[in-house]
Chains A and B, each alone.
Chain A
Amino acid sequence: MTFILTDTLEQSANRNLPAPLAETLTSALEHLREGCFQRSLCLIVATTSVASGLEVGYEHYKGSYSNPVMYTPVVLSGALAGAGLVGVFSRFAARTVLRWISIVTLADGVIGFFFHIRGIARKPGGWSLPVTNIVMGPPIFAPLLFGTSAYLGLMASYLRREEDLEPTVERVGAAIESESSGWRSDLRHGRFQKHLSALTVLWAFFSGFEALYSHYKSNFRFKAQWTPVLLAPLVMAAAVGAVRSRRIANTALPAVSALALADGAIGFYYHARGIVRRPGGIKKPLYNTLYGPPIFAPLLFAACGFLGLLASLLRRERR
């Protein structure tokens, strides 16, 4: 019998936790497994967009918004946060507004990626000095990472809502969506573990690479700077394994993803401390956030751990 993470968690909760807590946890896991967590994911999308909006807001402020296109991610993350919030309350908004804003934001991330590549090409020496200019130029994968919350928003728009888990509602819903195609139905029922694992591979690569070159820039002065660089390949390997094997998806993937999540959280603390330690500290919040370590960047690494964890709690695709 294969080890299934959610089953084990449920059993363990029933055995070890007091009844109300165990029930809550079991029900949460069931919602996840069944794909009935649209409202929760909308809330997560709203908060992560606020964080990524702040990050891109000040990073582009540092670049003086020299190109008007630099305003788009700031505006879009505001819109996405709003759409996420509305999606918490309205099924209709979650399926329409949130979906379209997410798609536009994702597209914006891809466009931004090309602008950042061009920005590096425009540095003196351009791509003939790849190391120097990746280190000194615009952060190459940041626009794609900016798409994380948009991607979550896109997925949220296809999920079922928490209340849909009730059997009566479920029957009505099934009648409405009988005509929906295979992948939509998979998403609706929480069957997208492989898909999300594949996404985790990509995201771990992007955020690991960002961590690599930006920590390389300061020559790995603190030993903790090595951790995301070393963890990223582990997450990638586990996530690749998770695409191919259900067993890995339920064992190695949650383990390393939890590590990545914790590492991101610790990194967030270190970056915040780095900012406070700059002269002026919290009395000069804007200046020190601008020129100190990028405060939300470790959370992007934590986000790829979050994706991996989420993947391990889902069901696999039917095909």
Chain B
Amino acid sequence: MPHRLGAMQTLPSPMRRFQENDLVDYCIVGVGSAGGVLVQRLARAGFRVVALEAGPFWDTEKDWVSDEKGSHELYWNDLRITGGTDPLALGSNNCGKGVGGGSVHWAAFAPRFHPSDFRVYSEDGVGVDWPMSYWDLKPYYELLEREMPVAGPAWFPWGDPHGHPYGPHPLSGRGDVLVRGCTKLGIRSVAGGPVAILSASHGDRPHCIYRGFCIQGCKVGAKASTLITHVPNAISHGAEIRAHAMASRVSVRQDGRVDGVFYFDREGKEQFQRARAVIVSGYAIETPRLLLNSACPGHRQGLANSSGTLGKYLMAQAGNVVAGRFEELIRLYKAPPAHALSEEFYETDPRRGFARGFAIQTVGPLPVAFAKQMVAAMGAWGWGMRRVMMDYNHWSTLGVLGEILPWEDNCVELAEEKDQHGLPVAKVTFNLHDNDKKLIEFGKQKVMEIMWAAGAKQVVQESRFAHLVGAARMGRDPSTSVVDKFGRTHDIPNLFVCDGSILPTQGSANPGLTIQALAARTADYLIKQGDAIFFSNRRDLSEPGIRYDLSPPYTRFKGNPRIA
């Protein structure tokens, strides 16, 4: 039986396999949002690429179930230690394991960052500026919006106003609630996106059928994940995706350049993949963990950590969920969780008494997640919980997505504990600071106000966090950042980091689109530099110029879909 990806796509077969001692051009660690795009671009440009993935290579028909509990293995469930004054819940919506990474269980909200997000320090005196501007990234946003592709309104009024390549999705009950509440209060909102879920068929992927299991892994193939958007094309162009390969350390040569990656294969045996350059795309916890675990003579504090900032400036977004009970039916389970939002409070407003802002988005917990939220939000338990859950179809939920600033004390370190391979696990410390607390309080109140305005009879809220970025941030100054604006580490010329961990600040936008856009930009840079990456220590920071000929098929709306 062929390896199925969604309802209509199958994995190209056979996949190229490199021999044990083959020297490849790039070894990419982690095939998630960034890794998937990178491996596709580099393979298409003719490089020999191996991508290591700790988790399995999902066959969407065999491995995925449309069930909340049954989808638990999409997450990174290995041991991790969490701490700090406001510890993060790890192991669910903020990290993935398996080809496609977190993009197989993201809600696929795909807003762009605002131009102001790239100049947070200049404009608001907090956080840090990016080493690039919005306008450097904008063509990549536009390209990735077509590659995924993103469905949404033809006019998105915030930040740099733009439209979307696919039409908006119809609104579900909770989208109605958001739009109704916002309009009552005179707040602008958009309906039907931006979300990387197909509102019409695209190439060999069918349109969304609104069955509601987006974040349990979309078996339809309508939701974009790099597993179905970029990985098949990478394999067609000769890349190897090596699943069940848990990277343990990056190997450094005498001359200070890396020469490959040690990893544990499916049987737990340690293997070595030689490579002329290494890209780490393990996301905000595993990337710093791997680099810290790779400490060796000459790099006592971990690879690329001469600045001491590796693992620091970790960020999560405030993700408070506000739930409201309505007289009429809402049916939370229907339609994609992500399909309406307002970014009216995105930018800094001095009158609010804190820097930066937040977005208001629809969220759609299925019953198990909803029950957990109700335990936290209203202490529902026993009979009380049953009463609440009987009303599940009358509840609507909206989420705050608030920007938490990068702080040095929010960090990823190595713990004493070891995982099944004997590698020290990550210890994540997270504390909220004054600005963050004010922002969360304001955002929470505002969303509750919207919920009341929409006509809720009862409103409760649960504090939680969403997304993880930072911990290997990019910057111009090698003494305060880990990588430069193309993801190349300041310390080692052929070691790159490309994933959410290089974000210096995070805005109040879901990071998925930005991570993929950054990956495409890094890939263009690597392709432009060519062999210089492998043989030269010279750091050329000139802009690569965007390439439009490396996109997966169907990006230009050409070609007939295969009809099953």
Contact = CB atoms under 8 A, between A and B. Distances in A.
B166 A124 contact: no
B201 interface: yes
A279 B7 contact: yes
A129 B186 CA distance: 10
B449 interface: no
Contacts of A128: 183
A21 B207 CA distance: 50
Interface stretch (B88-96, B174-182, B523-531): B174-182
A221 B152 CA distance: 12
Given A132-B179, A216-B154, A221 B206 contact: no
A291 B199 CA distance: 10
A279 B170 contact: no
B201 A124 contact: no
Contacts of B212: none
A279 B563 CA distance: 6
A280 B180 contact: no
A181 interface: no
A131 B166 contact: no
Interface residues of B, number: 34
Interface string B303-327: 0000000000000000000000000
Most A CB atoms within 10 A — which of B171, B179, B560? Answer: B179
Contact of A219 (B167, B177, B183, B201): B167
Given A132-B153, A221-B166, A278 B207 contact: yes
A173 interface: no
Most B CB atoms within 10 A — which of A128, A135, A219? Answer: A219
Nearest to B199: A218
Contacts of B182: 125
A125 B207 contact: no
Contacts of B200: 218, 278
A184 interface: no
Most A CB atoms within 10 A — which of B183, B192, B207? Answer: B183
Interface string A92-128: 0000000000000000000000000000000111101
A223 B177 CA distance: 35
A124 B183 contact: yes
Nearest to B173: A124
B563 A221 contact: no
B190 interface: yes
A35 B290 CA distance: 86
A219 B190 contact: no
A219 B164 contact: yes
A121 B200 CA distance: 27
A135 B557 contact: no
A131 B564 CA distance: 37
A128 B155 CA distance: 16
Contact of A218 (B166, B201, B206, B563): B166
Given A124-B179, A219-B154, A136 B168 contact: yes
A216 B153 CA distance: 9
Nearest to A217: B167
B561 interface: yes
Contact of A136 (B8, B171, B201): B171
B54 interface: no
B153 A218 contact: no
Interface in B189-224: 189-192, 200-201, 206-207
Q: From DSSP, what is the main secondary structure of chain A's interface residues?
A: loop
A279 B190 contact: no
B159 interface: no
B553 interface: no
B7 A125 contact: no
A124 B450 CA distance: 13
B170 A280 contact: no
Nearest to B205: A279
B163 interface: yes
Interface string B146-159: 00000001110000
B155 A131 contact: yes
A279 B179 contact: no
B179 A129 contact: yes
B8 A279 contact: yes
A124 B155 CA distance: 18
Most B CB atoms within 10 A — which of A123, A124, A126, A131? Answer: A124
Interface string A200-242: 0000000000000000111111100000000000000000000
A124 B176 contact: yes
B177 A135 contact: no
A125 B561 CA distance: 37
A182 interface: no
Contacts of A216: 154
Contacts of B170: 136
B165 A221 contact: yes
A131 B168 CA distance: 13
B176 to A, nearest CB: 4
Contacts of B177: 124
A281 B183 contact: no
Given A221-B557, A277-B201, A129 B183 contact: yes
Interface in A231-279: 277-279
A66 to B, nearest CB: 14
B558 to A, nearest CB: 11
A283 B560 CA distance: 16
A216 B167 CA distance: 8
Contacts of B165: 219, 221
B168 A279 contact: no
B178 to A, nearest CB: 8
Contacts of A281: 563
A280 B168 contact: no
A198 to B, nearest CB: 33
A210 to B, nearest CB: 15
B560 A277 contact: yes
B177 to A, nearest CB: 7
A306 B176 CA distance: 40
B192 A136 contact: yes
16 contacts: A123-B176, A124-B171, A124-B175, A125-B182, A129-B183, A135-B168, A218-B166, A219-B154, A219-B163, A219-B166, A220-B154, A221-B557, A277-B201, A279-B207, A279-B564, A280-B564
Interface of A: 123-126, 128-129, 131-132, 135-136, 216-222, 277-281, 283, 291
Which 10 A-B pairs have CB atoms at the shortest separation, nearest pair first? A124-B180, A125-B183, A279-B206, A218-B167, A124-B179, A219-B154, A124-B176, A281-B563, A219-B163, A217-B167
Given A132-B191, A221-B165, 7 more contacts: A123-B176, A125-B180, A125-B182, A129-B189, A219-B166, A219-B167, A278-B200
